[in-house]
Amino acid sequence: MITYTMNSTWQLYYLPQTESTLTHPVQLGSSGLTGIPAVVPGNVELDMMREGILPDLFIGSNIKLLREYESYEWWYETHFEAPEDRSGQVELVFHGVDCLATYWLNGENIGTSDNMLIAHQFDVTDTIRRENHLVIRLQSPLLEAMKKRYEPSMHAQHTNWEHLWVRKAGHSYGWDIMPRALSAGIWRPVELVLHEPNEFTAIAISTIDVSPDLDRAQLNLFYQFRTDPVRFFDGLEIRVTGRCQEFSFHASKPAVFGAGSMMIEVEDPKLWWPRGYGEADLYEVTVELVHQGKIVTVSKEYIGIRLAELIRTETTTLLEGGEFLFKMNHTPILCKGSNWVPLDVFHGRDSERLDQALTLFVEADCNIVRCWGGNVYEDHAFYEKCDRLGLMVWQDFALACAHHPQSTEFTEQIRAEARSIVRALRNHPSLVLWCGDNECDEFYMYRKLDPSYNKLTREVLPEVVRDCDPYRAYLPSSPFMAPTVAGKYDWQLAPERHLWGPRDYFKSQYYKASTYHFVSEIGYHGCPNLSSLQRFLDTDRLWPWQDNEQWIAHATETIGKNGPYASRIQLMADQIREMFGEVPDNLESFIVASQISQAEAKKFFIEMTRIKKWRRTGIIWWNMLDGWPQFSDAVVDYYFGKKLAYHYIRRVQQPVCIMIDEPDNWHVSVVVGNDSRQAAKGTYRVWDADSGDTLLEGAFTVSLNENRTLGSIRISHADHRLFLIEWTLDGTGRTLGNHYLLGFPGFSLERYCKWLPNIAGLIHDFDAAEVGQ
């Protein structure tokens, strides 16, 4: 197979679909439409911005200008040259087209597509020439959605009903973290693929066992290929070689049909581990089809040998217990990471943001990333980086916060989508879980309906996973409401939860007393830095925060001040008031107060999980990075401006961390957590930030993958104090730091700001004077 990425020049034409009489590319020339240059991969809005037709849509309330174009149709046109030598099958592959498309090559209709989330292939063997004319028409998803039938069993968020039928990323229709932008475009590359007579058409390599001593592994290789059937009777063979550094394995077997599988035993394997627990070792696996000693075709894959398990119960209680635990190679993993949300409103820009986004996860010592179901599916580049970085990936299918149609038409569309995605991604070792959807079970329970009614997550998706990726875990929904949970309408019974609730003070009983084991969403608002606000708000709209149209627009409110998300600005102010007893009357102090509130909250949520290990087994907080400029729970804004929370999270997610638990019986306990496969030791000191008095110090040792209480400090609930913590790990020369804020709110913002240099000075990883700037 030979692949050519099409780098041709594109033109874009557009008009209201309700006024269009165009049905074929031949009509474009006489339509009177004037084309504009288009960039592929890209989005139509970005092309219009480049031409000055639209202003910068991220500034002020400009994003609302897109409502006019929701009923438009868009025509892409290009000319390209094909290679002369194309003796076999030729395909055009569109890796991402948003969304309802018709394709013409040299005037001939070669097909249609109706899903932006997957790739589409078209056989053009008999249509392609040396010089070619390609046209794609994109029709309005809004108008398409209006043609559909809706039933009382169906449900969506206030501005999202269009996404029940049309397979676009859910956030496109407006979400609490993303604006409404019914985009269109060819948002991923277009390729010309020349197939050869002999090719592997599928390779899937799964780890099915690792010995308890970690000295042996068993792999299953599934293969399918095409070749001249005559060869089956004449010495065909499958040969497999895997190499990782100086380690290797080899296997072979006769190939008597065009599909088959083989078990491969690997001695002393180099295993793949998540960050903090070991190296993310990868094998380069070469699979060869050999005929009478001659290589006919070859395929290469990069795999990780690892046994990934999700051990879970359907319910949990304080008395009877329960479980939701990831294990890797028989080792329990304390999961710490963030939700992965859209990298950009306009997905044509995703690739240019990918590396910098993943670097944030690495620097923050994350070992897991949850790909949220309101997003697109990420491409191989994302997974390849996660493979190398040791980042486990929890992958939602692209279904979120809705009750989708249960008709055969829709379930079969989801089945095809899932097969495409699972087949594409199943060889990546970083992928540890397929999850049916985001919060759809919860939506059923909100409406007093049984989640097991949902055929998509109870029948269609598990069947696809069992067929195409049978050795990987599947979870029906996040959070999953099993029959026992749903029957009692009691969220507290679910072992894995999204902790949003009242979003009041971050140490309220809602957060501290929850019975969950694993929290896969939890967040707290934090205002972006001043320099970022100045980039997306007009100068005269920077302040005040009350009744500010542009602040509301960048709370992703699509309706206005009375819309469902407008309250998020008030929420941010309320969370400041919860901590400090008042809301500052100037922008600079408001930003700092908001970032402190968020930072302390996110730090507390992570420490709350680590200190209660193994009752609590993981936290995937919401979220690392914004996909557009906004007021949100993200700890890094769209422009990669880091909020204070990012620095606090880096400190409390490191594999060996010393933390202070909440007061009990006149004391706070000092705990060292070790989330690694190696015992650790060193020295530590805890002191009062104001007096400098040492409160606890000494040497410590902690077993691998466990916690240990080092001692306690007497306190009074009436005090407002800051405790500083410093420790050095033997053999590393590294001095690490953390802090603990004692007392009940309201705290003094002025006093906390005086403490900030002491907190920053522990390891000098941020400048206190730059917080909020």
CATH number of the structural domain spanning residue 477:
3.20.20.80
Q: Residue 312 falls within a domain, yes or no? A: no
170 has a pLDDT exceeding 80? yes
Lowest mean pLDDT segment, chosen from 463-472, 493-502, 694-703: 493-502
Write down the pLDDT at residue 734. 86
Query: Mean pLDDT, to the nearest integer, of 368-393?
Result: 98
Domain boundary pick from 173, 194, 215: 194
Residue 471 pLDDT level (bands cut at 50, 70, 90): very high
231 has a pLDDT exceeding 80? no
Domain at 168, CATH number = 2.60.120.260
Q: Residue 344 falls within a domain, yes or no? A: yes
> b/e string for 486-506 if b means 16 or more Cβ within 10 A?
beeeebebbbbbbbeeebebb
Write down the pLDDT at residue 621. 98
For residue range 28-62, list pLDDT tens digits in order. 989 999 999 999 999 999 999 999 999 999 999 99
SS3 assignment, position 37:
strand
Both 18 and 75 in a single domain? yes
Residue 584 pLDDT level (bands cut at 50, 70, 90): very high
Both 160 and 50 in a single domain? yes
Q: Residue 588 falls within a domain, yes or no? A: no
- Supply the mean pLDDT for the chain: 96
Both 259 and 133 in a single domain? no
Write down the pLDDT at residue 1. 81
Number of structural domains found in the chain: 4
Domain at 251, CATH number = 2.60.40.10
Both 614 and 465 in a single domain? yes
Domain boundary pick from 255, 287, 303: 303
Instruction: Tell me the C-alpha distance between 515 and 513, whole Å.
Output: 6
Both 636 and 719 in a single domain? no
Q: Residue 582 falls within a domain, yes or no? A: no
Q: Residue 131 falls within a domain, yes or no? A: yes
Both 172 and 236 in a single domain? no
695 has a pLDDT exceeding 90? yes
Both 530 and 622 in a single domain? yes
Write down the pLDDT at residue 320. 80
Both 24 and 138 in a single domain? yes
For residue range 640-661, list pLDDT tens digits in order. 999 999 999 999 999 999 999 9
Residue 115 pLDDT level (bands cut at 50, 70, 90): very high
Residues 370 and 434: beta-carbon distance below 8 Å: no
For 120, other C-beta atoms within 10 Å of its C-beta total: 19
Residue 768 pLDDT level (bands cut at 50, 70, 90): very high
Residue 731 pLDDT level (bands cut at 50, 70, 90): confident
Q: Residue 59 falls within a domain, yes or no? A: yes
Q: Residue 750 falls within a domain, yes or no? A: no
Query: Mean pLDDT, to the nearest integer, of 549-575?
Result: 90
Both 99 and 216 in a single domain? no
Q: What percent of the chain has pLDDT over 70?
A: 100
Write down the pLDDT at residue 490. 85
Structure tokens at 181: 């932008």
**Which residue range is the domain that position 391 belongs to?**
335-535+605-652
SS3 assignment, position 652:
helix
For residue range 588-621, list pLDDT tens digits in order. 999 999 999 999 999 999 999 999 999 999 999 9
Q: Residue 557 falls within a domain, yes or no? A: no
Both 382 and 516 in a single domain? yes
508 has a pLDDT exceeding 90? yes
Both 222 and 172 in a single domain? no
Instruction: Tell me the C-alpha distance between 495 and 313, whole Å.
Output: 7
Residues 359 and 636: beta-carbon distance below 8 Å: no
CA 766, 588, 691 angle in degrees (round to 5)?
55
For residue range 402-445, list pLDDT tens digits in order. 999 999 999 999 999 999 999 999 999 999 999 999 999 999 99
Structure tokens at 590: 């408001």
Both 635 and 727 in a single domain? no
Domain boundary pick from 303, 320, 352: 303
